[in-house]
């Protein structure tokens, strides 16, 4: 695990599900010097301060759309975790430019503020919806990933930018799991499509992924966990077995199956234990063999892999899974 002794960490969107729980994890398990929570919600900040009651916590009210406010907040910060985003897929389909302003322009503001303030490491929290996106949310997160990867050109060897990308977090605020657990005795539940699958990750796994990325990043990588997928129909059956299931159809911007790693990305990805590390495609500009020699060295015991995101299964649908195809 990365040594966080005497480090100051800032988390944008720090009052969200990931930010709040990651903060609690860091306070309990690491010698971190200070954690700064940067978010727009003063009520959540007030409640979080009372709940944690820890002198290492600081709070900044601000919006990632506001570059001067970010620059003020980033003063003296060693590591930034950029988790702030607008995320509700159907809502963003009808409020497209709001998503652009927060998820794209806000991410660029984070990049510029980090460079201006000399932050050493900046990590974007991304999503599987950024992979071959069909909705606005996924498209904005794909753009944010591209901004972060190529942000390394602005301040080479001074500020390093990388990404983590994962699927649905089990039990996060507003998730389908949270909704079902609150309605275990429901008589009827609504399913968009019985074929639909999603990748699942626990909060603890997301913390481990972020810490692994912070420890090993050289700037430009996308870190992806090897996590399972599940049919939503099976999830409903497990959590609300007695409820009647009604199929209502896919909502605007939804996929039947998500993808975490494409076959094209797999050409320049390395498998390391529980993770895939996608290196930048432009090897000449990034000097991959030199810049990412640590990642390449760690992965020596693993073969470079192609990943097939879908394979046919018996019932005729297609389900995302990991399948390794070794390359000698």
Alpha helices in the chain (DSSP H): 17-29, 42-52, 67-73, 89-93, 96-99, 106-117, 136-150, 176-182, 203-216, 232-239, 263-266, 283-286, 288-291, 293-298
- Burial (CB count <10 Å: 0-12, 13-18, 19+), residue 325: exposed
Q: 12: number of CA atoms within 13 Å, CB side? A: 32
188 noted as active-site residue: no
d(CA 260, CA 45): 32
d(CA 58, CA 38): 9
- Cβ distance 123 to 81 under 8 Å? yes
d(CA 247, CA 224): 32
d(CA 131, CA 265): 10
Tokens of residue 327, six digits = 């390359």
Catalytic entry in 87, 121, 129, 255: 129
- Residues labelled catalytic: 129
């Amino acid at each position: 695990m990365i040594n966080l002794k005497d480090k100051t960490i800032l988390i944008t969107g720090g009052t969200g599900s990931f930010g709040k729980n990651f903060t609690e994890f860091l306070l309990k398990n690491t010698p971190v010097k200070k954690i700064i929570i940067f978010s727009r919600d003063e009520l959540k900040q007030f409640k979080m301060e009372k709940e944690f009651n820890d002198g290492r916590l600081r709070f900044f009210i601000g919006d990632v759309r506001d570059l001067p406010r970010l620059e003020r907040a980033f003063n003296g910060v060693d590591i930034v975790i950029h988790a702030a985003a607008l995320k509700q897929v159907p809502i963003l389909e009808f409020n497209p430019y709001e998503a652009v302003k927060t998820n794209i322009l806000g991410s660029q503001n984070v990049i510029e503020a980090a460079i201006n303030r000399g932050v050493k490491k900046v990590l974007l929290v991304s999503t599987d919806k950024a992979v071959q996106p069909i909705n606005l949310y996924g498209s904005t997160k794909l753009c944010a990933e591209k901004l972060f990867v190529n942000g390394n050109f602005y301040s080479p060897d001074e500020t390093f930018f990388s990404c983590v990308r994962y699927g649905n977090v089990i039990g996060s605020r507003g998730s389908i799991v949270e909704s079902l657990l609150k309605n275990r005795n429901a008589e009827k539940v609504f399913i968009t499509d019985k074929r639909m699958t999603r990748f699942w990750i626990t909060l603890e796994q997301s913390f481990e992924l972020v810490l692994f990325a912070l420890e090993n990043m050289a700037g430009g990588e996308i870190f992806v966990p090897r996590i399972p997928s599940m049919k939503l129909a099976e999830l409903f059956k497990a959590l609300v077995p007695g409820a009647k299931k009604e199929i209502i159809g896919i909502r605007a911007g939804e996929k039947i199956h998500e993808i975490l790693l494409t076959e094209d990305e797999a050409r320049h990805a390395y498998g390391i234990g529980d993770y895939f590390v996608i290196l930048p495609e432009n090897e000449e500009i990034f000097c991959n063999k030199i810049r990412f020699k640590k990642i390449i060295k760690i992965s020596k015991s693993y073969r470079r892999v192609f990943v097939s995101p879908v394979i046919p299964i018996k019932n005729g649908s297609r389900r995302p899974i990991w399948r390794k195809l070794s390359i000698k």
